[in-house]
Structure 1
Amino acid sequence: MKKIFIFFIFMEYIYAFTIPCSYVSDTNSSTKHENIRDFIEDENTDIRNYWKDTISPIVENIKEESNKREEKMKKLKAIETERLVIAKKIEFLLKQENELLGNFINIESERER
């Protein structure tokens, strides 16, 4: 078990030494790095343009629609509150009418006696 552990530690050092050596021995590594850098810049530019041209207008549209929805919800809430007040007034007036009709019937019955 101890030998296996020492072997893995030794392999890590060999691996750490061979990776930098392979970059040093490669004369085209700077060209490859430039190619990778150019590729990354091109991809980033494509992503920025896609965001600017496609996603950003959709996000703005969503914001506008959300604001319109919020305004409509505020108006709807005000209308609902007004409807509830009117319903309470109608309920009160119907109660008053019933009391008046009850009083009128009582008066009429008193008169008939």
Structure 2
Amino acid sequence: MKRITILLSVTLVVLAACTSAPEIKGFDFEAWRADRNACQGIRDTMQTNLERIRPQLKGISDRHLMQLLGKPDRNELDERNRKYITYFISAGNQCDPKAAALGKRIKFSSSAMGIISEAIIE
């Protein structure tokens, strides 16, 4: 009985790891990924569409989020193992050190289980 439980658990983990990112229409993910740190200004023009799809990004895994949006511009981990994944939307001192402040960004928070629970534009 114990072997069956272990085998079933391993099978579920493998199946969950093999799922692909959800299909979200109406957003150019390729263009988003090409504008690293929002320094080219492409992401700034995509903000309206980003706000429209933001609810669809909640509840997906952080791995799937990164498949869609690309490598995060910043990652943080707090003491409770919550992960914060940040993507810049507009240029700021992350592109030009002489700029006064960081650019506008969207910050996703993910639980210790890796599920996106919040998407806040700052």
Q: TM-score range by the shorter chain?
A: under 0.3
Q: Which has the higher contact order (CA 8 A, sep 6+)?
A: 2
Q: TM-score, normalised by structure 2?
A: 0.21
Bigger strand fraction:
2
Higher helix share: 1
Structure number with greater Rg is 1
User: Could you state the TM-score of these two structures normalised by the residue count of structure 1?
Assistant: 0.22
